[in-house]
Structure 1
Amino acid sequence: MTRVAITAVGAVTPLGNDADTTWEGLAAGRSGVGRLTTFDAEGFPVRIAAQVKDFDAAKSIPSRVGRKHLSRVGQFGVAAAWEAVRRAGLDQLSEDVYAADERGVSMGASVGRPELQTLLDIGHLRTTTGRPDAFICQPPGVALTDDQNVPLSAMARMIGGTGPMMGISTACAGSGHAIGEAFRAIQEGDAKVMVAGGYDSLTTWLDLLGFSLLGALTDRYNDDPEHASRPFDADRSGFVVGEGAVAVVLEDMETARARGATVLGEVLGYGSTLNAWRITDSPPDGSGAIQAMEGALADSGLKTGDIDYVVAHGTSTHGNDQSETVAIKKVFGADTERLVVSAPKSMAGHLTSASLGLGVLAALGAMEHSLVPPTINLDTTDRGLDLDYVPHTARAMPVKAVLINAFAFGGSNTSIVIGAAREDA
């Protein structure tokens, strides 16, 4: 079976507008949560979010890929992909290394939709003027900006790729499925290099209102945003909406080494399941998550004792944190006692479709620097939440293999195992 190397990572997150700054924020336990700025949230039950700051698309995206028709969140995704592409040196490679049809893109993202304000403006125009053409008065470029495939097309042009292009919309599991399916594409010979990851931004007033009505967001920390995201803490009261993008470059290991690429790690296993239980909640018995983790471990060929670190989905909702803890205990059994678990969402908020991508970035940093990022704001663990969640401060320790989780609304689960690249086969 073809081995799959990770040769680069790029990021635009609430902790920084590149991968290095994002890792530094995770390692330092720095919160990226603050007052919401995408709209005036005064009067809303939730007025905070983990948002991208000081982002300049003109500096982050080359003009040749076409910034004109990229939405704000599409810009995040393309910028993260461009950083990864440059770091891997793919922008300099000829077809002698990878043919065009061996280069592909796989991204998790929310399904594109018109901005709600645009629809309101059109509706108001039709109501007040009676114009039957009100719904077609927008310029045609708006349809391109809202289309999910436009950022993927830009990424394909970056790498000169005519191979597989996958846009995956499975909510919070999106980047997990995107990376996992890219891994499969290389394993099965459908591609030799893939840009994979996820991008998302659910910070409109419709998103905030919808999640608030579901009871999924915390509304207790509007005046203390840095302490709002508290996975596994007894005082947790819901997740914090985040936004951003993370992209990785996956390559056929043999070719990557032959061309002298830096191998950051290796994708070893991928598991994907569906709960078929409730739309918004995780099963209390951990089912679904258990099967995803077991599937990824079986695929990797590793045993539970080989995993040093679990990057938890860790949303800071009561049901998810309980369910995930139960699932980890059932999967790891006696090896649970030596395992460390931490939740990047405590710092970056919930990047939804990009969340597992952020977990991969955390895992790669942990392996490179022998340092596990913390779970911040974890003051008092809840009953039954008794794993080693690395509270408050990063922990120095060797890390050779990591399991990363993402569990989504609708019951979609995915887990990925990555490890330090072995010299042997």
Structure 2
Amino acid sequence: MNGGHGRRAQRDVVVTGIGAVTPVGNTAPDTWSALAAGISGIGRISTFDPGSFSVRIAGQVRDLPDAPAAMDLSRWELLTRAGRFGVVAAAEAVADAGGFAAHHEPGNRGVFVGGHVGRPEPEELAQIGLVRRRSAGAEIHRRDPESTLRCDQGVDLAAIAEVAGCRGPISGISTACASATHAIGEAMRRIQAGEITMAVAGGQDSLTTWLDVSGFALLGALTTRYNDDPTRASRPFDAERDGFVLGEGSVLMVLEDRRIAEVRGARILGRVSGYASTMNAYRITDSPPDGGGSITAMANAIADAGVEPDAVDCVYAHGTSTPGNDISETAAIKKVFGAHAYELLVTSPKSMTGHLTAGAGALNVLGALYGFRDGLVTPTINLEHPDPKLDLDYVPNHARASEVSTAVVNSFAFGGTNASLVLEAP
């Protein structure tokens, strides 16, 4: 059992608001509408000229909204691209949750956000290298003092806390592609334990710079076959998958102690009832073919929620579109669920957005929560060629009407970190 938490007396944790800035929509409802319709947000990279790169496509946010009205503009100027996504998503989530200020003391409100540790912008790194080459290393690169703040993850978190009026614990979690799922799970734990009563949690990321694209391309992790047909590039579980597509964006949500949410008459989107995390200790970039630690992550999260595996209706999969990950995750699902695996709906929103990396797990949570509301499971698009090794129901190409009551969300990261959540309908 993860962290020793079982089904003992503890506070129920519910989601009452959600915000999103993603490649398919700059709000949570727009993102959901696109996912439900099977619309791809993948296109040519616009943050730099990718003409000489082997990979020229990504899932990118288009037309980023302005700073929220509650945001100090001097702080907005210091935020990273990912940080701006996060602040806009946080403001939307807070507004969506509606009127909680009188029910949660500022000191009882936390912020738990998954993201990558800050660093100088690639343009500045290039300038540093240029200065050193010109001067044989004798000249010191003169940094703008504010550039230090612009690459500090804490500045992004502080801005989110400002928008949400949070004065309680703040935690930035950087566990690669599992970051958002870990952040939501850790926020859930704090509320369950009674340490706080409310949290803003989720993830944000933007790895669509020339440095990141070139790095992932050199690893051989990205698809290079669809530069001229980008909407078909991300194809989880398809026999012709050959790598993932980078994406960017943020999904954040308001988590609350259920008792307080009900007292204030909040609309409840769903309950976060189980969480577990594990480590593969296998390879840095590959998942174990037999499922490895992802088996334990799913099984422990289900046990933590106090439900039987047969009660789960849907898995929002990590589903990256890489040959190895999709085989590993499918093997893990079969191991955890046995014969019931063939009754599950398994879907991957990454087929439409690309891989939001540190924000990916929160996008899956968005899909599950709105799916509860609308009785719909989003599709895995581009699943055109069945892979005989992958024989589950991956909801190919079109959304499926289904009354889902319990869903599992998976995130499996570079480095071997695994995290799973269990969500239940309100």
TM-score clears 0.5: yes
Q: Which amino acid aligns with 1:71?
A: T
Q: Structure 1 residue 198 and structure 2 residue 183: aligned? A: no
* Residue number in structure 1 paired with 2:383: 378
* Residue number in structure 1 paired with 2:107: 101
Displacement of 1:72: 1.2
Q: Which amino acid aligns with 1:88?
A: A
* Residue number in structure 1 paired with 2:14: 5
For the residues of structure 1 that align with 2:74 and 2:349, how far apart are their CA atoms?
31
For the residues of structure 1 that align with 2:352 and 2:108, how far apart are their CA atoms?
37
1:52 to 40, 58, 61: 61
Q: Which amino acid aligns with 2:296?
A: Q
* Residue number in structure 2 paired with 1:214: 219
Measured against aligned partners, the alpha-carbon deviations of 1:342-374 in whole angstroms (never above 9, x if no partner) come to 110000100000000000000011100001100
* Residue number in structure 2 paired with 1:15: 24
For the residues of structure 2 that align with 1:64 and 1:54, how far apart are their CA atoms?
18
2:422 to 408, 417, 424: 417
Q: What are the residue-to-residue correspondences of 1:76-95 with 2, within 5 Å?
A: 76-89=85-98, 93-94=101-102
Contact 2:35/2:352 (<8 A) preserved? yes
Q: Structure 1 residue 143 and structure 2 residue 152: aligned? A: no
Q: Structure 1 residue 118 and structure 2 residue 127: aligned? A: no
Q: Structure 1 residue 388 and structure 2 residue 397: aligned? A: no
Displacement of 1:60: 7.5
Which has the larger displacement, 173-182 or 337-346?
Answer: 337-346
Q: What are the residue-to-residue correspondences of 1:305-344 with 2, within 5 Å?
A: 305-344=310-349
Displacement of 1:116: 2.1
Displacement of 1:160: 2.3
Q: Which amino acid aligns with 1:123?
A: G
Contact 1:10/1:248 (<8 A) preserved? yes
For the residues of structure 2 that align with 1:279 and 1:60, how far apart are their CA atoms?
42
For the residues of structure 2 that align with 1:65 and 1:405, how far apart are their CA atoms?
37
* Residue number in structure 1 paired with 2:6: none
* Residue number in structure 1 paired with 2:293: 288
Contact 2:205/2:357 (<8 A) preserved? yes
Q: Structure 1 residue 302 and structure 2 residue 307: aligned? A: yes
Displacement of 1:78: 1.0
* Residue number in structure 2 paired with 1:230: 235
Residue 132 and residue 261 in structure 1: after superposition, are their counterparts in 2 closer, same or farther (change >3 A)?
Answer: farther
Displacement of 1:123: 2.9
* Residue number in structure 2 paired with 1:42: 51
Displacement of 1:126: 4.0
Q: Which amino acid aligns with 1:178?
A: A
Structure 2 spans left out of the alignment, 5+ residues: 1-9
Contact 1:65/1:157 (<8 A) preserved? no
* Residue number in structure 2 paired with 1:246: 251
Displacement of 1:68: 1.9
2:370 to 350, 365, 372: 365
Q: Structure 1 residue 128 and structure 2 residue 134: aligned? A: yes
Q: Which amino acid aligns with 1:63?
A: D
Q: Secondary structure at the match of 1:276?
A: coil
Q: Secondary structure at the match of 1:57?
A: coil
Q: Secondary structure at the match of 2:422?
A: strand
Residue 156 and residue 257 in structure 1: after superposition, are their counterparts in 2 closer, same or farther (change >3 A)?
Answer: same
Q: Secondary structure at the match of 2:84?
A: helix
1:152 to 146, 153, 157: 157
Contact 1:7/1:248 (<8 A) preserved? yes
Displacement of 1:397: 1.2
Contact 1:60/1:79 (<8 A) preserved? no
Task: Using the aligned pairs only, state the percent identity.
Answer: 54
Q: Structure 1 residue 75 and structure 2 residue 80: aligned? A: no
Contact 1:65/1:158 (<8 A) preserved? no
Residue 322 and residue 73 in structure 1: after superposition, are their counterparts in 2 closer, same or farther (change >3 A)?
Answer: same
Residue 288 and residue 395 in structure 1: after superposition, are their counterparts in 2 closer, same or farther (change >3 A)?
Answer: same
Q: Which amino acid aligns with 1:156?
A: A
Contact 1:32/1:50 (<8 A) preserved? yes
Q: Which amino acid aligns with 2:281?
A: A
Q: Secondary structure at the match of 2:76?
A: coil
Residue 5 and residue 34 in structure 1: after superposition, are their counterparts in 2 closer, same or farther (change >3 A)?
Answer: same
Q: Which amino acid aligns with 2:178?
A: A
For the residues of structure 2 that align with 1:288 and 1:166, how far apart are their CA atoms?
25
Q: Secondary structure at the match of 1:245?
A: strand
Q: Which amino acid aligns with 2:193?
A: E
Contact 1:406/1:414 (<8 A) preserved? yes
For the residues of structure 1 that align with 2:70 and 2:208, how far apart are their CA atoms?
22
Which has the larger displacement, 204-213 or 65-74?
Answer: 65-74
For the residues of structure 1 that align with 2:113 and 2:231, how far apart are their CA atoms?
29
Q: Which amino acid aligns with 2:121?
A: E
Q: Which amino acid aligns with 2:96?
A: R
TM-score calculated relative to the size of structure 2: 0.95
Q: Which amino acid aligns with 2:207?
A: L
Displacement of 1:132: 5.1
